[in-house]
Structure 1
C-alpha cells in the first residue's frame, strides 16, 4: 500500500469565505519589520549596549529612590505641619503681638506730642483698612500672595540669585519671603516672649529674625501650617496689625494716626503707598525721620501698584504729583528731651517697662517748646562759629515748677540722647550768688547795706591761704549789696556768705531745691559746687513765687487707656517756705537791677521787667543765665561736654542772648505783668541832736542800712586776722 499522505499538504476544511481569507493573509508582510528589530537588538550588543543598560538601570533606581524619598519627606513635612497647625492661636489672639505696652504723652492742652513703647492703634482687618493700603502692601511685599501656598519657590530662587550676584551668602540680604513667611516671623514661629528666658526684648526679637537654614526650614513649615489654618485675608490681617511701621507705631491703625491723624480706613493711595513703603526699613524711612526719603519710596510703591493693575495711569500720575505729607499734628511733634525726662521721672512699671497702654498728661506747652527750639537754632546759626562743638540747654517753667519747655542740646526733636538740662552736673558760677543774698535778706539785712570790695584773703585749713578775685580783677571799694549783685562782684559775695554763715547759705540753697552736694568751703559763694540746669531753674522759681521751694515736674496725671480714674497725679509743685516773702520780693528787685544796671543787660526784654543772674565758671568752662519775668522762669546753660573752656563766652553773652530770644518769642501777645518785687526804702540820714558841751558825742550811724552787716563783717575780719 502506498502512503497517501506523503507529499501532500495538511487536510483542512474548506474555508467558507474564500474572499476574506485571501485578505487576512496579507499581514505576513510584517516579517521584515521583525527582522529589522532583531537586527537592531543585535547591534546594541557589546560595550555600548552594556553601558546603556547600566545607565538605564541606575536612572530607574534613583528615580524610584527619589520618588520614595520624596514621599517620605512629604509625610515628615506633613507631620510637622500638622503639629504646627495644632499650636497656632486663633486669629483674634494673634493680632496684637506687642511684648510691652504703649505710653502716649499729652501736652497741657490734651494734645498728643510724643509716644513711647509699642504704639497700637487698635485691631484692623484686611477688609476694614483702605483698599489702597491692602493693594499697596500686596504689590510691594508679595505680588503672588493670593496664588501661592505660603512659600514661593520662584521668589526664593530669585532672592538667592540676587544675593549671590551681590557678593553675599545665598540667605543673606534678600529673603524671598512671602507675606505668610513674614507673618510667621512676626509670630516668632510660635515662641512667646518670656522675661525669664530672655535677657531683654531686643534679644528675643533678634532671635526671631535670625536667618539660618534651620530657621528658614522651620519658617516654611510654619507658613504652610498658617495657610491651612487661616484664610489669606486673615493672614494679611495679622500682618497689618503686627508689622512695625516706624515712629513707635505697630500696625496700620497706629501708623495712620501717627503720620496722618486719620483711621486706616480713610487712607489715600499716596498715604497707603507711604505706609506700605515703610515695611522694608521702618526706622530710616519713617516720614517723621526723613519725609523726602519716605516720599521717594512711596512713589516706587505707586509705580508697582500701577504695574499690577491696582491703579490706573491717571491715578498713579495724580498720586505721584501730590505725595503724602505729615498731618499738622504730626508736624508739630516736639519735646523729645522733655518726653524722655517725664518717662524717667515716672514709675518704671507705668513708663519704660509698662505692659499696659498708658496715657500721661504733662505740663508741656508746645508753643513754648517751639519758641525755645527756634531760639536755640537762630543763635547758634548766627552767633556761633561754624564747626563749633559747643552745646547749650534751656529749661522754661512756671513759678510752681511746672516745666513748659525743655531743650537738652543743640539737636532738637530727638529722643534717647544725653539731656544736658537734666543729666549734666556743672559748676554754677555766679548764678549761685542770689542764694547768698537771699540768706542775708532773710536774716534782716537790707539791699542797701554796704560791704567793702577790696583785696581779701582767708586761711583755709588744709589748703592754705585763699584770695578770691573779681572777674575784672579790680576793686570797687564800698558797695551796697544790690550793687555787688548787679556787678557780680566776687569778694563781697564771699564776705556776705561767711558773715551770715556758710552753713545757712547751704541750707537755704538746698531748701530751694539744689539737691546736688554743695561744697563746704568759702568758694561756695562763687558757685564752686555743681548742679543741673533743671535744679537751678527750679530754685529761681522759688524766688519768683515768693520764697517757697518748688519741685520741678512734668507729669500731671497718669492713667491707663480706657480708664477715667488716674493711677497717679503730679509729682511736684510748690513746697515749704524757705525765706519770708518780703526777703524774696526784695531779692527780685535786686536781681532786676542785674538786668537793668548790671551784667545781664543782653537779656532785657523791650516790653516787660526781667530779673536774673549771669554765671561764668573758672576758665569759662560753663556759662549761665537764669532769669524770670512775672510769668515764666527760664534757665540757659552753655559749654562743652568735655569741659573745654569756651572762647569769648560768658554768662552775660550768648546765654543771655539765647534767653532773650526764647523769652521774647514766649511772651509775644501776652499781657504785660510787672515783677512781684518790693523796692526797699533808701537809707535815711537821721539828724543829730544838739550836744551839751559837757557830754561826749557818740557817733551816729545811718538807720535803715549798714549797721548789722558792717558789724558782722568787722567781727569776721577780726576773727580772720587774729583780732587786729
Structure 2
C-alpha cells in the first residue's frame, strides 16, 4: 500500500484573498442586477407615461394652439422678470415717508421779512372728499379721468382713445394719463420728460391703486396738485381765487377750479380771466358729455361764469420756494414743531430781474437759437442764494432745472482742472503745449480743429483750448484728483469717472456750478450756499440761525491758487470766449461752456459781489441752432448783473487789484430779433448802504435800550440807487426781518 500523507493545509492569506474575491463578485452581481432592473423599470415607466400622454396628442390647428400657448407662457415668464426689474426703481420711491412728506406747514419770508408764500399742509384747508360739493368732484372726474372708478391705475381704453385722437389730429390733443398717474407724479416724481419717469409713473399708479382706496387717491390728488398763483390743492385755490371755503363753491367756480389742473399758468383766472372762463365752459361741456350732468343743469353756470378776487399779478418765486422747502425739511426734521416761519435769503428785486433776464432772452432769441428752456442760480458772495430760475414757466412745468436737471457743463467744467493745477504749482504764466493728444482710443480736438503750440495757461483757459486740460489730467493730475476737487468746491451730483471729464462730459446742475464758482471770489473758502437764513416757530422762538448754527467756511483752495484762478478767469470776458458777459464798469470773471451738438450752453461767472450760473437748452436734449455759452447765456448773465450792481458798494474780486482790462473786440450791441435795442433793467431807488447801517444800529440800540449818539452828518445822508443786494454790517434779527445791508423804501 502506498504511504499515506497528511492533507495539504492552505495558508491563511490565500483564504482571505479568495473570500475577498467572492465578496467583490457578489457586489458586482448586485450592482449589475440592480442597475439592469432600474433601467428596465425606468423604461417601463417611460413607456407607460408615453402611452398615457398619447391620448392628449393633438394635430392640426389644435397643435398650433398648444404651441402658441407654450410660447406665450415662456414669453410671459420672461416678461414678468423684466417687469419686476423695471418696477424695482419705482418701488424704491415708496420706501420714503410719502404720507408725512408734507406734514410741515411753512410760511416763507424774503430776506427783508416780507411774506412770499407757503409750502406744506394747510391744516384748516384739509377737507374730506365726502364733504366736498358733488359738482366739484364731478367736474374734476369729467375733465381729468372719466373712468376713474373703473380702471386699476392705467386706463388702457382711454389711452387707446387718446392715441387715436392724437394720430387723427397730427399733434397731442388728448392726454392718456389717469388721475392716479398724475398723483403718482405729484407724490413721488418730477415733471421731467423721460421714458424712465413714465415707467416709474405707471408702476407707482398700480401701487397706489393696490394700497389706497379710490377716495384716498382722489383726496390726495385734490390736495397736492398745483393750482396756479402759488397755491397747491383745490382748497387753497378756492380761498385764493374766490375768497371762500371749498365746500361753498358754486358750479361755475367748481368748473373753473377743475380747469386749472391741465395748465394752471395758462388758465389762472387772476392772470387771464377770459381764458379761465373759456376753460371752465369746456369743463361744463365735459360734464354733459360724460353724462354726469344735463345741459339744463349747467346752463346757469354757462350764463353766469365765476368771478375772482382781484390779486396782484406778481408771481411768487415758486422754484425757489420748492427748493427752500426741501432745505427746511432737512434742517427742521429734528425739531418737534413743524409749523414754522422761515426767513429765506431771496431778494425779490433780484429774483424778478433774474426771471425777466431769462424770459426776455428766450422771448427774443429762443426761436432763432431753437431753445425753449433756461435756468439760473445767483449767489451773493458769502453763500446766500438771492435768485433762482428753474425754468421758463412754473405753471407749465414745476421741474426745477436749476437744482434737479443734470446737464453736461462743457468747457465750464475746465475750471476744476485748472484750479487743481494751480494747487500743484502751476501759475497763469506757466507755458504748456497745445498739440495733438490721445488717451486710449480718444483724441480730443479743439473747437477750430487747429493747434496753437506753446502758450500760457492763462491763454489756454481764455481761448478754451481742449487739449491742455486733457494733457494735464493725463500726465500730471489724474481724473480722481479732478473729481475730488469738484466735490470739495461744491458739486453735489455724483460724477462718473471717465477720461473725458476734463472737457465737461460729467453731468451737473446749475446750482452745482454756481456753488463751486463762488469759491473763487471767496478766496478759496467754501461758498456755504444756503437759502434758509432763520427758522422760527409761531411763538417767535428762533430754532435755527444760519450764522449761529452752521460751521465757518472751510479753506478749499489755497489763497494763492484762488488768486491765480481769479487772474485767469477775469481775462475771459475781455479777451476770451465770454466778451458778451462783461458787466459795465464792474470787473467780471467767468467761463463759458458748450456741449457736443450744441445741446447745452452755459456761462458761469462772478464779480466781487455775486456769482451766477446760467444754462440754456431743451428738455428733450435736442440740439440748438449753434448756440454757444458766449452768446445767449453770457448776454443773460450781463442783463442780470448790470441790474444787480446798480447803486451798491462794489467789492473787488479776491486778489485782483489791477484795473479792469479793456475788451479785445467789443461785440455788437444786443438787439432783439426785430432789430430794436434791448431794454436795460433799472433798480428802484432805495436807501444808501450808509443810511441802512445807521438805521440798523439805531434799531439794535433801541431794542437794547442803549442811548445812541447820532453822527453829526446824519442829515446829509440821502437816497441813492437801490442797494438791495449790498452787504453791510451784521444783520439784525428784529421784527422787520431785514437781513441785508439795504432796506427798500417800498416793496
So what's the TM-score if we normalise by structure 1? 0.54
1:433 aligns with 2:409: no
Which residue does 1:344 correspond to in 2? 326
Q: CA distance change for structure 1 residues 668 and 485 in 2, over 3 Å: closer, same or farther? A: same
Query: Hey, what's the Cα distance between the residues in 1 that align with 2:498 and 2:404?
Result: 25
Taking a change above 3 Å as real, the CA distance of residues 581 and 209 of structure 1, as seen in their structure-2 partners, is closer
Tell me what 1:511 maps to.
Answer: 488
Aligned partner of 1:559 in structure 2 is 536
- Over 3 Å counting, the alpha-carbon distance change for 1:567 and 1:472 in structure 2 is same
Q: 1:573 deviation in Å?
A: 7.9
Deviation at 1:511, TM superposition (A): 0.9
Q: Secondary structure at the match of 1:577?
A: coil
Question: Deviations along 1:376-414, whole A, 9 cap, x unmatched?
Answer: 111111112179453211111122332111111121466
What RMSD in Å do the two structures reach over aligned CA positions?
4.7
Q: Name the CA distance, whole Å, in 2 between partners of 1:203 and 1:355.
A: 32
* Cα displacement string for residues 591-610 of structure 1 (whole angstroms, at most 9, x for unaligned residues): 01000110000111112111
Say yes or no: does 1:289 pair with 2:253. no
Partners of 2:658 and 2:331 lie apart in 1 by 52
In the alignment, structure 1 residue 469 sits paired with structure 2 residue 445: yes
Tell me, in whole angstroms, the C-alpha distance in 2 between the residues paired with 1:680 and 1:248: 50
1:400/1:673 CA distance change after superposition, 3 Å: closer
Paired residue secondary structure (1:601): coil
Q: CA deviation at 1:359?
A: 2.0
Tell me if the contact between 1:534 and 1:552 (Cα under 8 Å) persists in the aligned partners. Answer: no
Residue of structure 2 in register with 1:531 after alignment: 508
1:377 aligns with 2:359: yes
Q: Distance in 2 between matches of 1:259 and 1:207?
A: 22
The within-5 A match list for 1:687-698 is none
CA contact (8 A) 1:122 1:254 kept: no
From 675, 697, 702, the counterpart of 2:653: 675
Select the residue among 381, 385, 400 that pairs with 1:399. 381
Instruction: Tell me, yes or no, if the aligned pair for 1:105 and 1:362 is still in contact at 8 Å.
Output: yes
2:437 aligned with 1:457: yes
From 450, 463, 469, give the equivalent of 1:493: 469
* Residue of 102, 113, 122 corresponding to 1:110: 113
Matched residue, 1:546: 523
Would the aligned equivalents of 1:599 and 1:652 in 2 still touch at CA under 8 Å? yes
CA contact (8 A) 1:607 1:672 kept: no
SS of the residue corresponding to residue 513 of structure 2 reads helix
Alignment pair present for 1:483 and 2:459: yes
* Preserved CA contact (<8 Å) 2:117 2:230: no
Q: Hey, what does 2:586 align to over in structure 1?
A: 608
Q: How far is the alpha carbon of 1:501 from its aligned partner?
A: 1.3
Contact 2:105 2:121 in 1 (8 A): yes
Q: TM-score, normalised by structure 2?
A: 0.52
Equivalent runs, 1:3-82 vs 2, <5 Å: none
What residue in structure 2 maps to residue 585 of structure 1? 563
- Corresponding position of 1:367: 349
Aligned residue in 1 for 2:636: 658
Task: For 2:340 and 2:456, locate their aligned partners in 1 and report how far apart those are by CA, in whole Å.
Answer: 55
* 1:451-495 deviations in Å (ceiling 9; x for gaps): 111x3233x4xx43x322111111112111111111111112222
Structure 2: how far apart are the matches of 1:558 and 1:283? Answer: 35
Question: Could you say what secondary structure the match of 1:105 adopts?
Answer: strand
Q: Partners of 1:356 and 1:518 in 2: how far apart?
A: 35
Change in Cα spacing, 1:403 to 1:424, as seen in structure 2 (3 Å) is same
Q: Does the 8 A contact of 1:246 with 1:278 survive in 2?
A: no
Give the counterpart of 2:314 among 315, 327, 332. Answer: 332
> Does 2:601 align with 1:623?
yes
Name stretches of at least 5 consecutive residues in structure 2 with no aligned partner: 1-101, 127-132, 139-145, 150-207, 222-226, 281-303, 660-747
Cα deviation for residue 203 of structure 1 reads 5.3
The answer for the alignment partner of 1:238 in structure 2 is none
Q: Deviations over 1:336-382 (max 9, x none)?
A: 1111112223327969x999533222111111111111011111111
In structure 2, distance between residues paired with 1:278 and 1:245: 15
**Contact map agreement 2:230 2:315 (CA 8 A) in 1:** no
Deviations 1:285-308 (A, max 9, x none): 7999222428997xx9xxxxxxxx
- SS at the partner of 1:485? helix
Check 1:493–1:296 CA distance in 2 against 1; reply closer, same or farther (3 A cut).
closer
- Paired residue secondary structure (1:426): coil
Structure 1 Cα separation of the partners of residues 475 and 642 of structure 2: 39
Quick one: distance in 2 between partners of 1:198 and 1:606? 58
Q: Mean Cα displacement is larger for which, 666-675 or 539-548?
A: 666-675
Q: For 1:414 and 1:556, locate their aligned partners in 2 and report how far apart those are by CA, in whole Å.
A: 29
CA 1:604/1:343 → structure 2, altered by over 3 Å: closer, same or farther?
A: same
Q: Give the one of 401, 404, 416 matched to 1:423.
A: 404
Stretches of structure 1 that go unaligned for 5 or more consecutive residues are 1-98, 124-140, 143-154, 160-167, 172-196, 211-243, 266-272, 301-319, 682-724
Distance in 2 of aligned mates of 1:423 and 1:580: 30
Task: Report which stretch shifted further, 553-562 or 484-493.
Answer: 553-562
Q: How many residues align?
A: 452
**Distance in 1 separating the partners of 2:218 and 2:249:** 28
Residues 101-154 of structure 1, C-alpha deviations (whole Å, 9 max, x = no match): 63222111111212223436799xxxxxxxxxxxxxxxxx99xxxxxxxxxxxx
Shift of 1:622: 1.6
State how far apart, in whole Å, the 2-side matches of 1:611 and 1:245 are.
Answer: 38
Q: Conserved in 2, the CA contact under 8 Å of 1:245 and 1:275?
A: no
